[in-house]
Each structure stands twice: as C-alpha cells, then as structure tokens.
A and B are shown apart, each in its own frame.
Chain A
Amino acid sequence: MVSVKERIIEVILFLCSLLTVLITLGIIVILASETFNFFSKVSIIEFFTETEWTPLFANKKFGILPLVCGTLLVTVIAILVALPLGLTIAVYLNEYANQKFTAVVKPLLEILAAIPTVVYGFFALTFVTPLLQRVLPNLSGFNALSAGLVMGVMIIPYISSLSEDALRAVPKSLREAAYGMGSTRLQTAFKVMVPAASSGIIVSVILAISRAIGETMIVAIAAGQEPKLTLNPLTSLETITTYIVQVSMGDVPRNSIEYSTIFSAGITLFIFTFLLNNISFVIKRKYHQKYE
C-alpha cells in the first residue's frame, strides 16, 4: 500500500514536471504561430537572401542575414578568446596545479560567469573600447570587437570548468600509461589527455557557443544597433538578441509587422541553439558508449 502522503508528493512532482513541459510547449507554439504570421506577409526567400534588415524604417527590408552575421561575428571573437584561455586553464588545473589549488581556483573562475552581464556590457563600452581605440584609432564607439572580447572572458569558465571535468574523467590508467612511456607533462596533457577528453571538451565549447549566441546585454550595450552584413569587427553591428531587445523596448503596436519580426528573429535564434544542443547531445552519447 502506498501511503496517502507519498501519493500527494508524487502528484505534486508530476505537476511540476508537467508545468515545465507545458511552458516549453507554450513558448514553441507562440513562436511558431507568430512566425507563421510573419511569413504570411514576408516571403521566406526574402528572409534568407535579402542583405538588409530595416523593419523599423519606412523602406522595410526583411533579410535576417545581417543579424545572423553580427551574431556569428561576435560569437567567433568570443570563442577565439575563450577556447585557448579556457583550455589552457583546464589543462593547467588538471595536469600541473595541485588539487588544493584547483579546488580553490575553479569556483573562483566560475564567478566570471556569474557577474551580471550588464556589468560586462558597460565594462566593454567604457573601458575596453577606449583602451582599444588607443591602438586602433578607427575603432567606432560601438563595435563587435570589444563586445566579443569581453563576452569571451565571460564564457571562459564554461570551457575551463567543463573541460577540466572532462579531463578529470579520463581514466587514470591512461595518464599512467602516458607517464610510464616517458611522456613529459606537456606531452601527457596534449597527446593523451586532451584527445581522450575531446568529446567532453567539444561539448563544453558548444555550450559556450550557445551561451555566446544567446547573450544579450553585452552586445546591446557595447556593439551597437546597426544591422550590417559585415565581417569587420571594428564597426558597430547588431545581433539577433539586440534586435529583439530593441523592438521589445520600443513601442511598436501589437500585430504589426514590426512586432512579428521579433518572433522571426527569435525562432532563428531558437533554431541555432536547438541545433547546438542536439549536436552536444549526440557527442555526449557517443562518448559515454566509448568508455563503457
């Protein structure tokens, strides 16, 4: 006999999980229906091939490419900062530092990801940009470079902590094999440990990319609000998230075409992160099979 109390707890737990599923479904339904609305007014071909994004202007153009390009440019800069630094930190903590040091430094690093992003945004705008302008005189006040660099610092712990976890999960016997063969620490780290942990490291990078793509405040504050199809990191541009903020904060009427652009931009973002999530899921599953 299951007691009444147990039964009630079970029902509550079930309702909680049901609620999260329903909320997720709700978001997807609204995203999808509003996007459907949008594409009944704008051709999907224009959406993917047009090179300008000007829904708020008189001459409206609906090409998502500039926003996608802006998002990817900032993300690439951020990863170029975070991957080498994060991986180096992970290898250092795992192979060189003693355990006590690692136990202290890892949580400290994780604070980087806990700082409110608005702080990073203003740091980029009021400190990093002026600093960079001394070396790069034609750097504009709002630019992808300082937003990307600062975002890179923010996502370091995603890579350093998760990669360190992955390195730590490599069977001890492989490390012993490497040292037993006479490898130096550097060789052990980069010829054995990193390759053996590669799936976990890739998953950490994917998570960091997802985080960078979805990041809003830093880019909204420091990168500007000018959708541009450019790969030049020195000028201002706009990312998908920044655009969504910009429109949500303005006063566009509901059910207008401007309003539904939020959702078309939103679903583009959603598709990106959804794909990344799935890739990391597949990699994780393969990885677990390998070591069983």
Chain B
Amino acid sequence: MHQNSILLLFLALAVIAVIVFTYVYLSSKNAEQSEQGMAQPLKKRFWFLLILFVILAIFASVTIPKSPYFLFADETPAKIVHVSSMQFAFFLSEHAIDPKNPSGEPIELPVNELVEFRVTSLDVNHGFAIYDGSNRLITQTQAMPGYVNRLRYKFTEPGTYNILCLEYCGMAHQIMRSSFIVK
C-alpha cells in the first residue's frame, strides 16, 4: 500500500474508535438507573469476534503474498548490485566488494528491469532504504554484519534515487547516505 492510503486507513479507523468510545461513554452518562446495559452481550461479542477474524483473515491473505520475500522470487535479475555499508557510508558496486578494502562506484540501473541488491554490513547493523524522486520511501532491507540480504526491485520511473540508512548506527546515522541513477 502507498503511504497515503495507509495513513487514511489508519485515520479512518482511529476516528471510528473515538466515535465508539465517545458514544459508549455518553450512553453511560445519560443512562437511567433502571437501564440494563447491553442486551445479549455474549452473542454480540461472538459476532464482533467473528467479523474481526474474517476481516483479519482477508487482510492477511491479500497482503502476505505481497511480502518482499515472494515478489519477483522466481525471476532472474537483469542486474546485480553489491552493497557494503559501514559507519557512515554505503559502497555500491557491480562487482563483489572486498571487505578489507571496500570501494564503490557510481551505479546506473535499467528502468523496468529486475535489479537485485546484495546488502551487507562491515560493522554494525544499518538500513538500506531507497527513496524515489519525490522522496518517498519505496523499499528497504537491513544491512547486517555477517549476512547478505537480497532485495529485489523493478524501477518503473527513471531518475535519481536516494539511499538513506534506516537502522540506527550511531552518531552520524542521520547523514549516512548514497544514491544511484535509473535510466
């Protein structure tokens, strides 16, 4: 989901929650001594749970297949980019990076073709997050020492993409960044 739809969904649900709680509170404030509360609460509880369960089940079955682990899983990437991160820089290269003497190169990626980033870290955990031309976070993975995370993505828009570190890594975390071009 796009961030804006996520925010709207959340705000809508939050407003509903506020309305329900306010309504219930007022119903108590205005209640007569003789009122009996909710009729058949067990039955209503059951229906509430069932509906909630169904909504969650639908939501899960729609979203889980869209998890990054399954996207493009059986396609072959057209391009592979190696990423090594360290406090406080990213090295990107089309060739394997020597951990003892890491170095990077400018990266240009093809539009509408599958790219695989092989992301690791040489010191602490970092985050490898890709922001598009309108500065929207579009995808990410973690950079963990001793492991390589493979992030696959198809860029549909040409332009410059920024990479920001999205796992707290120390005093210069906020300026740890890089970028690449999609043509």
Q: Say if A and B assemble together.
A: no
Residues of A within 8 A of B (CB): none
